[in-house]
């Protein structure tokens, strides 16, 4: 089964902000090997989640795991993304669509926050 991972963030008008998700996707591609990895933005930037899902299917994905790149629950993670995944599932009944939880709490994030705090420069 060809697997795809679709990372979804909020999206921004700033190209540099959207590039962060692309950077994460590239690192994930190296880690997962043969899985297709795509990105989508909920607002303010392309591609949309629907467009990225179509790209996954067109690329041969038989399973798509949608991973919200958000820290916690909110409108997009509790309403918009599940609705869009459900709509895509109805449009592609032959593709297994799964929705992961947002990043949420994880000890690895605590370490990252501590590292960022230690590295902060005084303004």
- Asked if residue 6 lies in contact with residue 38, where contact means CB atoms within 8 angstroms, the answer is yes
What CATH number should be reported for the domain holding residue 84? Answer: 3.40.50.1400
Domain carrying residue 32: 3-119
Q: How many domains is the chain built from?
A: 1
Predicted pLDDT at 114:
95
How much is the pLDDT for 51?
96
pTM above 0.75, yes or no: yes
Alpha carbon 27 to its chain's center: 13
Could you read off the pLDDT of 109-123 as tens digits, one per residue?
999 999 999 999 876
pLDDT of the residue at 33:
87
Give me the pLDDT at residue 1, please. Answer: 57
3-state secondary structure of 71: coil
Would you state the pLDDT for residue 123?
66
Residues 44-84 have pLDDT tens digits of 999 999 999 999 999 999 999 999 999 999 999 999 999 99
Segments of the chain assigned E as strands: 3-9, 36-41, 63-68, 96-99
How many Å from the N-terminal Cα to the C-terminal Cα in the chain? 51
Per residue in 10-38, pLDDT (tens digit) is 999 999 999 999 999 999 999 998 899 99
Catalytic residue check, 10? yes
- pLDDT of 122 reads 73
């Amino acid at each position: 089964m060809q697997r795809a991972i679709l990372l979804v963030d909020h999206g921004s008008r700033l190209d540099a902000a959207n590039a962060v998700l692309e950077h994460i996707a590239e690192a994930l591609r190296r880690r997962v090997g043969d899985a297709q990895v795509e990105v989508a933005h909920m607002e303010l930037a392309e591609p949309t989640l629907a467009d990225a899902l179509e790209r996954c299917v067109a690329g041969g994905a038989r399973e798509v795991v949608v991973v919200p790149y958000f820290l916690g629950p909110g409108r997009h993670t509790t309403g918009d993304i599940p609705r869009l995944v459900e709509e895509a599932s109805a449009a592609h009944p032959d593709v297994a669509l799964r929705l992961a939880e947002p990043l949420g709490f994880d000890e690895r994030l605590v370490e990252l926050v501590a590292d960022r705090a230690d590295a902060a420069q005084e303004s």
